């Protein structure tokens, strides 16, 4: 069996950097307008600017009394109450100026009148008639957010390329954007390979395996802002495999699973080689997922002209497929979706029991983070290796073991990737 060119096995860091470099050069997708609620989970294609200061007026953060801090430097102080200001109060009902010796009753979210520079919480006051006793001093600025302190009129509230979450949607709403421009979702072809793989509607024979990878990938693709296109299962037979790979190369990105290891029937690289694909790496020093392949294929007559299509060959073991998608395919997909480049976000967690591994691979092992507050700790899920999707389904994170790590003691802090 001809071997697909010289293998290029990179460290995790170099492999990730390679993907990031290619991702930084992909073209922006098309733009479409959508209603604000439909924009959740989409990627913003235009910056959203503040159409007014945030807050638009000096906002009281408490129910209490708007005062001049200097007037209450010594307590108990007694002040004249010259008005009551509720949230949304019209301008003519708000005292024009709070002079020395005066106060105004004020509610949370109401505008602090000129002259006042702080709000005393109602809990530290006692009003009798038009006089209020102030029992506690405040610093200038206390319990008041100045106009424009959160954002200045005209400044960018949400940058282009942001994956819109609840807070970003709230900002767009604050700026009065009932419709926003988002990027079109890239189409991501998913091609599962293997003679033993059967569709989930079929009754598997005794040695056959149902196709789960296309489904985990479809979910991951959606989460990363793409539109999965599931292709038929490819057999380990070069001609049929080639036809399906050519089909997949018509999408914006092609993800293949299985057929990239060193086995006699691992034909994916061979077929891509025939299609004059360029390979950027054919392995990474990680576990799970060592045989992961990344490249670009532009030579196929049916691939999109000139630009070529990036592809990943993800190892077929279900956990390897999931992990290598997150580590390598996701940044490329996010770039194709118009998203600004993201670094992986790690957290540190306290290890519940010692981990011993052979050095040489950077490992991303399924683990459970549990316990609240100071009792939070992480522990590996016992598993049967990278085919054990049942164990991985019980995990809520991956423990990241450095390439040179061999023994990490209980109680030590270790990097984790949340999943
Ligand atoms: P391969 O990468 O083709 O050597 O496959 C590695 C392992 O993953 C084998 O045990 C396959 O049966 C399994 N596998 C490959 N593709 C899938 C799939 N789509 N769904 C579930 N398991 C798979
Ligand atoms: Mg296979």
Contacts of 90 (CB under 8 A, 6+ apart): none
313 Cβ inside 6 Å of ligand 1: no
Across the strands, what pairs with 294?
281, 312
- Answer yes or no: pTM beyond 0.75: yes
Nearest atom, ligand 1, residue 211 CA: 20
d(CA 128, CA 15): 72
Q: What is the Cα 69 distance to its own chain's centre? A: 44
- What does 1-31 look like in DSSP terms, one character per residue? ----SS--EE-HHHHHHHHHHHHTTSPP--E
CATH fold, domain 9-29+185-336, is Molybdenum Cofactor Biosythetic Enzyme; Chain A (3.40.980)
Count Cα atoms within 13 angstroms, Cβ side, for 67.
Answer: 34
CA–CA–CA angle 96, 97, 99 (5° rounding):
155
pLDDT tens-digit profile of 36-63?
A: 999 999 999 999 999 999 999 999 999 9
Task: List the alpha helices (DSSP H) in 224-263.
Answer: 238-248
Q: Indicate if ligand 1 lies below 6 Å from the C-beta of 261.
A: yes
Q: Using a 6 Å cutoff on CB, does residue 143 contact ligand 1? A: no
Q: Is the CB of 204 under 6 A from ligand 1?
A: no
Residue 5: per-residue pLDDT: 63
* Distance of CA 212 from the midpoint of ligand 1 (Å): 9
Q: What is the largest CA-CA distance in the chain?
A: 96
* Residue 102 pLDDT: 98
Computed from CA positions of residues 109, 113, 114, 116, in that sequence, does the dihedral angle turn out positive or negative? Answer: negative
pLDDT in tens, the chain (419 residues): 444 467 899 999 999 999 999 999 999 999 999 999 999 999 999 999 999 999 999 999 999 999 999 999 999 999 999 999 999 999 999 999 999 999 999 999 999 999 999 999 999 999 999 999 999 999 999 999 999 999 999 999 999 999 999 999 999 999 999 999 999 999 999 999 999 999 999 999 999 999 999 999 999 999 999 999 999 999 999 999 999 999 999 999 999 999 998 888 899 999 999 999 999 999 999 999 999 999 999 854 444 445 799 999 999 999 999 999 999 999 999 999 999 999 999 999 999 999 999 999 999 999 999 999 999 999 999 999 999 999 999 999 999 999 998 899 999 999 999 98
Q: Across 45-130, where does the E strand assignment appear?
A: 48-49, 59-60, 64-67, 77-85, 102-106, 118-121, 125-128
Q: What is the whole-number distance in angstroms between the Cα of residue 134 and the centre of ligand 2?
A: 77
Is the CB–ligand 1 distance for residue 225 below 6 Å?
no
Centre of ligand 1 from the C-alpha of residue 218, in Å: 16
48 Cβ neighbours under 8 A, 6+ residues apart: 156, 157, 158, 171, 172, 175, 177, 180
Which residues lie across from 156 on neighbouring strands?
49
291 CA: nearest ligand 1 atom: 2
Angle at 211 between CA 205 and CA 215, to 5 degrees: 155
Q: Which ligand 1 atom sits nearest the alpha carbon of residue 192?
A: 19
Classify domain 34-52+155-182 at the CATH class level: alpha beta
pLDDT for the residue 4: 47
Work out which ligand 1 atom sits closest to the CA atom of 214.
19
β-pairing, 156-158 with 48-49?
antiparallel
Atom number in ligand 1 closest to CA 315? 2
Would you state the structure tokens that stand for residue 157, as one six-digit string?
């509230």
CA 179 – CA 306 distance, rounded (Å):
34
Tell me which ligand sits closest to the C-alpha of residue 200: 1
- Where in the sequence of the chain do the CATH 2.170.190.11 domains occur? 59-145
Question: What count of Cα atoms within 13 Å lies in the side-chain half-sphere of residue 279?
Answer: 25
Structurally, at CATH architecture level, domain 347-418 sits in Beta Barrel (2.40)
Q: What whole-number distance in Å separates Cα of residue 102 and Cα of residue 90?
A: 20
Of the options 3.30.1360.120, 2.170.190.11, 3.40.50.620, 3.30.1510.10, the CATH number for the domain spanning 59-145: 2.170.190.11
Residue given tokens 């697909």 in the structure block? 4
Query: How many Cα atoms within 13 Å fall on the side-chain side of residue 76?
Result: 9
Residues of the chain with CATH 3.40.980.10: 9-29+185-336
Which pair of structure tokens corresponds to residue 230?
A: 């599931």
User: Where are the domain boundaries for CATH 2.40.340.10 in the chain?
Assistant: 347-418
Among protein residues, the one whose CA lies closest to atom 16 of ligand 1: 316
Could you give the CA distance from residue 84 to residue 184 in angstroms, rounded to a whole number? 50
């Amino acid at each position: 069996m001809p071997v697909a060119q010289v293998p290029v096995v990179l460290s995790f860091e170099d492999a990730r950097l390679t993907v990031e470099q290619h991702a930084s050069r992909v073209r922006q997708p098309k733009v479409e307008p959508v209603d604000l609620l439909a924009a959740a989970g989409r990627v913003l294609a235009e910056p959203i600017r503040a159409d007014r200061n945030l807050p638009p007026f000096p906002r009281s953060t408490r129910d209490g009394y708007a005062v001049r801090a200097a007037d209450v430097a010594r307590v108990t102080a007694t002040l004249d109450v010259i008005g009551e200001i509720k949230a949304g109060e019209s301008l003519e009902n708000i005292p024009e100026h709070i002079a020395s010796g005066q106060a105004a009753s004020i509610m949370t979210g109401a505008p602090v009148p000129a002259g006042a520079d702080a709000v005393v919480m109602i809990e530290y006051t006692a009003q009798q008639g038009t006089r209020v006793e102030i029992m506690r001093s405040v610093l200038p600025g206390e319990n008041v957010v100045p106009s424009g302190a959160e954002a200045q009129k005209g400044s960018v509230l949400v940058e282009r390329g942001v994956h819109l979450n609840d807070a970003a949607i709230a900002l767009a709403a604050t700026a009065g954007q009932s419709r926003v421009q988002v990027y079109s979702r890239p189409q991501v072809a998913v091609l599962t390979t293997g003679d033993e793989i059967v569709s989930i509607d079929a009754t598997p024979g005794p040695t056959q395996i149902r196709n789960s990878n296309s489904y985990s990938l479809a979910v991951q693709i959606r989460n990363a802002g793409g539109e999965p296109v599931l292709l038929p299962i490819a057999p380990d037979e070069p001609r049929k495999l080639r036809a399906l790979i050519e089909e997949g190369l018509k999408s914006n990105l092609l993800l293949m699973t299985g057929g990239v290891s060193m086995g006699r029937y691992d034909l994916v690289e061979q077929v891509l080689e025939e299609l004059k694909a360029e390979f950027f790496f054919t392995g990474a020093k990680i576990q799970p997922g060592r045989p992961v392949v990344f490249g670009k294929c532009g030579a196929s007559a049916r691939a999109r002209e000139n630009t070529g299509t990036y592809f990943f060959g993800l190892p077929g073991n279900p956990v390897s497929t999931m992990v290598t998608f997150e580590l390598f395919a996701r940044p490329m997909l996010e770039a194709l979706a118009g998203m600004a480049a993201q670094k992986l976000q790690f957290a540190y967690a306290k290890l519940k029991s010692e981990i011993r591994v052979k050095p040489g691979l950077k490992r991303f092992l399924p683990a459970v983070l549990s316990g609240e507050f100071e009792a939070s700790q992480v522990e590996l899920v016992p598993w049967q290796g990278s085919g054990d999707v049942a164990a991985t389904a019980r995990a809520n994170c991956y423990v990241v073991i450095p390439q040179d790590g061999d023994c990490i003691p209980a109680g030590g802090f270790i990097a984790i990737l949340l999943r």
